[in-house]
Structure 1
Amino acid sequence: MPSTPQVLPPAEQAAPDTARHGAGAHITLLLVEDHDMVAEAIRLALDRTDDLKVVGRSLSLQDALRDAALLRPAVVVLDRRLPDGDGIAAIAALKAAAPGARVLVLTGEGTPAVAAQVAEAGGSGLILKAGNLAELQDGVRLVAAGEPAFSKGLLSGALDRLTGRSADPGTRLTPRERETLALLGDGLGTAEISQRLGVALNTARNHVQRVLEKLGARSQLEAVAVARRQGILP
């Protein structure tokens, strides 16, 4: 039987649609972690900020699917090893349960292979448990903004692992989309791309989205990997 969801009182929750946008709004989080001490430390670290709010905690993948559908968090912070399975394998189902949610994986196994698995499954990032809590806070903010967030040293390794995937040979990028792709390859986020190109943030997001669609990629990380495989990027 699934456990009772650990959900904060409604008065303390941020509304799901205001959690992603608006001045002063919180980024709402669902924490999926079965160890009480670890979960409490993470919750305190996230809740002490002005812009992050843990609205629920799940003890298993089964509970997480139910809670994600109920709470509609902006970000799911997901432990990899849970009593009922591997968190990476549940990423797609979690995103289906809470459309628009980003998934940030926490793990003690920080290898390029694991990072590539997260990216291939549709996850937005991977943070090592051996890192500091500030890195986790920043990672949550990045993925909530639609940017990838991988612990130091894992991003380039994940790209190398992903370069075996190729796009449709008929894919054609416009000059502006190639500029956008080059900036993604340099590790820039959407806000930085908008500044470099001198366009509005929404315009930059549209450029990035079209690059992903044309390369058949599900994330910025995978788009760069595909482009390197195709020889579009060095």
Structure 2
Amino acid sequence: MSSTPLRSRPVRVLLVEDHDMVAEAICLALERSPDLQVVGRSGSVASALVDTRRYEPDVVLMDRRLPDGDGVSAIADLLALAPNVRVLVLAGEGSASVAARIAETGGAGLILKARGLSELEDAVRKVAAGEVVFSQDLLGDVLGRLTGRVPGLGANLTPREREALHLLGEGLSTAELSGLLGVALNTGRNHVQRVLEKLGARSQLEAVTIARREGLLR
């Protein structure tokens, strides 16, 4: 049984999710509970901003990856529009660095799509009641990173290595990357190799995948 306090009216939820089947399943799950009310559904960051002003939700349940941007990056704009709204991020996978970004920007929590719908309902109730929701396996790292005790993965990348990583994220080859950075091919290869080593990746593709997961690339 949830320990969140009773409310005099249902929690008003704005769902921001661009996949129809996922959105429909979430809406059905939330609306079967009398204490939860889906007041609107948005499919992009831009429409979420408009609909937050329009519907005045208590909770914005925001997918992390949307057609026009990153849901985590949108938290600050949502809070600027509605300072009292609680933003709960919904993601396919989570990491401590992404969770820390959510907390740092004022988000109320992170819940994974793999979790059950009943757990999602409970998370919405908790953030509406003022709680912060992160899974236990992420919470320790989140607190550590917020207090500076635990450096995030990729925190030791140099500015040049970060440039190389971003170019890898755009799908460029080592030769193309070297040309844009204005360095010799061997130097470009060295930058890429150090990026792989610092991210613990065995290939450029794996490095980009890790970087996206950790919030180093958007």
- The residue correspondences of 1:1-234 to structure 2 (distance < 5 A) are 22-23=7-8, 25-164=9-148
Unaligned runs of 5+ in 2: 150-218
1:151 Cα offset (Å): 2.5
SS at match of 2:74: helix
2:39 is aligned with what amino acid?
V
- Say which one has the larger Rg: 2
Query: 1:117, 1:127 → 2: CA distance?
Result: 14
- Cα deviations by residue, 1:41-100 (Å, 9 ceiling, x for unpaired): 000110001200100000100000000001110000000000000010010111122231
1:86 is aligned with what amino acid?
D
Q: Which moved more, 1:98-107 or 1:60-69?
A: 98-107
Of all paired residues, the percent bearing the same amino acid is 61
2:69 is aligned with what amino acid?
G
RMSD of aligned C-alpha atoms? 1.6
Query: 1:106, 1:42 → 2: CA distance?
Result: 11
SS at match of 1:130: coil
Query: 2:71, 2:7 → 1: CA distance?
Result: 31
- Cα deviations by residue, 1:125-174 (Å, 9 ceiling, x for unpaired): 00011111111111111110111011231111211221218xxxxxxxxx
Unaligned runs of 5+ in 1: 1-19, 166-234
TM-score by length of 2: 0.64
Query: 1:98, 1:63 → 2: CA distance?
Result: 14
Query: 1:99, 1:112 → 2: CA distance?
Result: 25
Would you say how many aligned residue pairs link Structure 1 and Structure 2? Answer: 145
Q: Which moved more, 1:151-160 or 1:98-107?
A: 151-160
TM-score by length of 1: 0.60
